Chains A and B, each alone.
Chain A
Amino acid sequence: MGRLIARRLLTAIPTLLAIIVLSFVLMRVAPGGPFDGERPLAPEVRAALEAAYGLDKSLPEQVWLYLTRLAQGDFGPSMVYRDFTVSGLIAEALPVSLLIGGCALLLASVLGISAGLWAALRAGKWQDEVLMLGATLLTALPTFVTGPLLALIFGLWLGWLPVSGQNDGGSWLVLPGVALGLPVTGAVAKLARAGLAGELGADHIRAARARGIAPLTILRRHALRPALVPVASYLGPAAAALLTGAVVIETVFGLPGLGRYFVQGALNRDYPLVLGVVTLYAGLIILFNLFADLIYGWLDPRMREG
């Protein structure tokens, strides 16, 4: 297990570097810059600004400067939100994104796994058909449709839940969390069903049944863990995506999360902000994939590496 972690972390470094350099270059090829406002700046002011942010240096030099700073945990200053550092902006936005994403993840794993397992136990019966059709429909629900729709029904018509911004209680989380979590719930349910249905047909389960072990014990002791491997492999990257902000959900519900900063940053050419979010996100994907791999080992010992 230690070796797996070490190897993953070693391959993560070149991946992260490649992503950073790629995003850096992409941003710079884009026409426009962070200081192109409504009114053109005086050339001296512009030159001074570019010098202050190091934009006058050559591209490789800038990349190097960024990376050395990053190695010290410094994401640099925001070029558009003056007087704010990227770390500060991220520190402000990340908790909002984590809360929404955490709710969505909780909903997806609890509801998705239970629905999927139940469908697998009823495989071929009508409950299975209905649940799986429902799951497919859920995966087809784009957040930018469900978001406004839920806001309309539960916010404007019924008036049960707030539709915009945050409040002191936790009720502001419900609608964004549900809208974000529904498609993932469907996907998880499908994977859990396929995993358990496949596992229930395996030889060792038939052998256990032949020995007269109670169905519930078979499920708990033998079938459940390997059946959840596909769910774990899906939830790894999905969790990273959920936790780091759903651009649309944040836009629809007017929440100051990471996704919105990213889109605003990209549109404003706020280079350090965009790079900071991309780096954080890529790092989280790698981390969650590692978690998923560790969970495999726990779920299915055959997948443990030496």
Chain B
Amino acid sequence: MRPALLIVALIVFAALLGPFLLPYDHASIDWDSVRVGLFTDGHLLGTDDLGRDRLARLLVGTRVTLSVALAAAMVALVIGVAWGAIAGWVGGRTDELMMRIVDGLYALPFMFVVILLMVVFGRSILLVFLGIGFVEWLTMARVVRGQVIALKQRPFILAAEAAGSPARATLLRHILPNVAGVAVAYLMLTVPHVVMIESFLSFLGLGVQEPLTSLGILVNEGAEEMDMNPAALLLPGGVLVLLIASLTIAGERFRDRLADATK
């Protein structure tokens, strides 16, 4: 867990603070040094075709990708927890219906739906994460529902009900705090997934738009000039893979520990 979390923390810190430490921002053009190599004219990673500092673009791109991913994962968290908790708590026909809907949505060609959403609602960054969050809540809903159903049988919940605790209070005070751990574990696993989707959309030109940048856009730009300048592809691609891998490892460890703890 430690090395993975450390890498995540390093990337997050670099993305948050890095841009403030650089004399260049990601969109401004340095006319005197257009397309220069590594460590030239004060540009650590050089500049691109338009004379924009590659390091600044990499840091800002990482920041944008991370924030979109976090926001989308939160959307998925809210919908998923609410949906799953209600289905599990109410049970019976409502549960049956709500879970049938989730099953049905699983059959959606979901990559196509995201693409369709992006095409339909324009390409604002707000809609990028709303759209992704909207297709990513299904697993969360299933997991939370299972957890709530298991909790409902536990003695302390039965005791709360026997003591006359109103349903709302039981749900908010006793059920939800106990769901929180699992929800956080799946949130941690949703984030790398969303990072992947966001970059994928941006790669196709359907996600984040210029002058803003994201890891997906940088990979796309890098792929176009990779024969002359492989670093342009390797750097953003490497950061992206590192980020997704370490987030996944950290999330899985957390989930497995939680499962061991509740055994």
A residues near B (Cβ < 8 Å) are: 14-15, 18-19, 23, 26-27, 29-31, 133, 136-137, 139-142, 144-145, 147-149, 151-152, 156, 237, 241, 244, 247-248, 251-252, 262-263, 266-267, 274, 277-278, 281-282, 285-286, 289
Cβ–Cβ contact B233 & A241, under 8 A = no
Which residues of A have CB within 8 Å of B223?
Answer: 144, 147-148, 252
Residues of chain B contacted by A14 (CB below 8 angstroms)? 104
A241 and B120 within 8 A (CB): no
B27 at interface (Cβ–Cβ under 8 A)?
Answer: no
Whether B252 pairs with A144 at a CB distance below 8 angstroms is no
Alpha-carbon separation in the docked complex, A217 to B25 (Å): 64
- Distance in angstroms between the alpha carbons of A26 and B119 in the assembled complex: 10
State in angstroms the CA–CA spacing of A31 and B249 once bound together: 42
Alpha-carbon distance A63/B189, docked complex (angstroms): 38
Q: Is the interface of A mostly helix, strand, loop or mixed?
A: helix
Contacts of A141 in B (CB 8 A): 241
> Which residues of B are in contact with A by a Cβ distance under 8 Å?
104, 106-109, 111-112, 115-117, 119-122, 192, 196, 199-200, 203-204, 206, 216, 219-220, 222-223, 226-227, 230, 233-234, 237, 240-241, 244-245, 248-249, 252
Can you list 29 A-B pairs with a CB-CB distance of less than 8 A?
A: A19-B107, A26-B116, A26-B117, A136-B249, A137-B241, A139-B248, A140-B244, A140-B245, A142-B200, A142-B240, A142-B244, A144-B199, A144-B220, A145-B237, A145-B241, A148-B222, A152-B230, A237-B106, A241-B111, A248-B203, A248-B204, A251-B204, A263-B204, A266-B115, A278-B109, A278-B112, A282-B108, A285-B107, A285-B109
Of the residues B104, B227, B240, B252, contact of A145 by C-beta under 8 Å: B240
Q: Which residue, A23, A142, A286, has most C-beta atoms of chain B within 10 A?
A: A142
User: Does A247 contact B111, Cβ atoms closer than 8 Å?
Assistant: yes
For B199, what are the chain A residues with a Cβ–Cβ distance below 8 Å? Answer: 142, 144
- State the CA gap A140–B240 with chains docked (Å): 9
Q: Are A148 and B117 in contact (CB under 8 A)?
A: no
Contacts of B237 in A (CB 8 A): 145, 148-149
**Contact between A282 and B109, CB atoms less than 8 A apart:** yes
Across the interface, A281 reaches (CB within 8 A) one of B112, B206, B252, namely B112
Residues from chain B with a CB closer than 8 A to the CB of A281 are 109, 112
The reply to whether B226 and A148 contact each other, CB–CB distance below 8 Å, is yes
Closest to A262 in B: B112
**Closest residue of A by beta carbon distance from B100:** A11
Chain A residues near B245 (CB-CB < 8 A): 136-137, 139-140
A143 to B198, CA, bound (A): 13
Neighbouring A residues of B117 by C-beta, 8 Å: 26
The answer to whether B107 touches A142 (Cβ under 8 A) is: no
A220 to B56, CA, bound (A): 55
Give bound CA distance, A158 to B24, whole Å.
37
Structural contact, A19 and B108, CB atoms closer than 8 A: yes
Asked whether, in the complex, the Cβ of A30 is within 8 Å of the Cβ of B192, the reply is: no
Q: Which of B116, B192, B204, B233 contacts A247 (CB 8 A)?
A: B204
The reply to whether A274 and B116 contact each other, CB–CB distance below 8 Å, is yes
A74–B30 CA distance with the chains assembled, in angstroms? 56
Question: In the bound complex, how far is the Cα of B147 from the Cα of A283, in angstroms?
Answer: 31
Q: Chain B contacts of A247 at CB under 8 A?
A: 111, 115, 204
Using A139-B248, A285-B107 as known contacts, list a sample of 13 further A-B pairs with CB atoms less than 8 Å apart, ordered by residue number in A.
A15-B104, A19-B107, A19-B108, A140-B192, A144-B199, A144-B223, A145-B233, A148-B223, A156-B226, A247-B115, A267-B119, A278-B112, A281-B112
Question: Known contacts A30-B119, A136-B248, A266-B116: does B222 contact A282 (CB below 8 Å)?
Answer: no
Q: For residue B196, which residues in chain A have a CB less than 8 angstroms away from its CB?
A: 142
Q: How far does the alpha carbon of A281 sit from the alpha carbon of B112 in the complex, in Å?
A: 9
| Residues of chain B contacted by A23 (CB below 8 angstroms) | 116
Q: What are the nearest 7 A-B pairs in CB distance?
A: A140-B245, A148-B223, A140-B244, A30-B120, A145-B237, A281-B109, A266-B119
Chain B residues whose CB sits within 8 angstroms of the CB of A286 once the complex forms = 107
In whole angstroms, how far apart are the Cα atoms of A14 and B111 in the complex? 21
